[in-house]
Amino acid sequence: MPLLDRLKKEKLIAIARNVPEYLLDQTAESLLKGGIVFIEITLNTPDALPAIERWKRSFGDEILVGAGTVLDLQMARDALSAGAEYLITPNLDEEVVEFATGRGIDVWPGVMTPTEMVKATKAGARAVKLFPSGTLGSQYIKDVRGPLHNIPLIATGGIHLGNLKEFLDAGATAAGLGSSLVDNTLIKNGNFDEITDRARRFRETAKEESGVA
């Protein structure tokens, strides 16, 4: 199944940012236990690249590992060399988009405006990350999807359990979940059961909109 089709089914991307290196594997395990398949580790997380390599060895096809906060071409190269299956950026860098898509790798760049959305798709992106979605609001998604209904939007930034369904109902293809799911305080305290429980609750909420099995 193409990666974007799988994302449309799963609806959720967990974002691991600045998780201590020694807790990264337990974090991934707890998210997977809660039903999260897409896990993005940001490249400003210490030891992100070794974690990508290790997760691909340890989890295989059970999780889909992406690299986030990809800011330039060298970071994109490093992430793909480590085994990242997709790239996510906070901004629109058309050079990064063209580099990844030229190698058959999905890249979902961060955008805010309709102009950026169109530029991203012309560069080869099959979906875009609308950031910061919490600030822009779900009505913004409804508005831009009027003329740009063919561009899949991944709502990211400020998405939590209380507004996830609102954003999906507004037309977001999926949502990126940062601290509302991957809570570093819980992780540092070893409360991985709560991470798993949150993952399950997010999935249940996404299922209400999408019919995910």
The two structure tokens encoding residue 204: 């249940």
**Cis peptide bond prior to 46, omega within 30° of 0:** no
* Residues across the chain: 213
Q: Is 62 a catalytic residue?
A: no
Q: Is 129 a catalytic residue?
A: yes
- Per-residue DSSP letters for 70-93? --SHHHHHHHHHHT-SEEE-SS--
Considering 129, 166, 188, 207, which one is annotated as catalytic?
129
- Give the ranges where the chain is alpha helix by DSSP (H): 3-10, 24-33, 48-59, 73-82, 94-101, 114-123, 133-136, 138-145, 164-169, 184-188, 192-210
Count other C-beta atoms under 10 Å from residue 193's C-beta: 12
Residues 94 and 119: beta-carbon distance below 8 Å: yes
Q: Map residue 144 onto helix, strand or coil.
A: helix
Considering 10, 11, 29, 40, which one is annotated as catalytic?
40
Active site residues: 40, 129
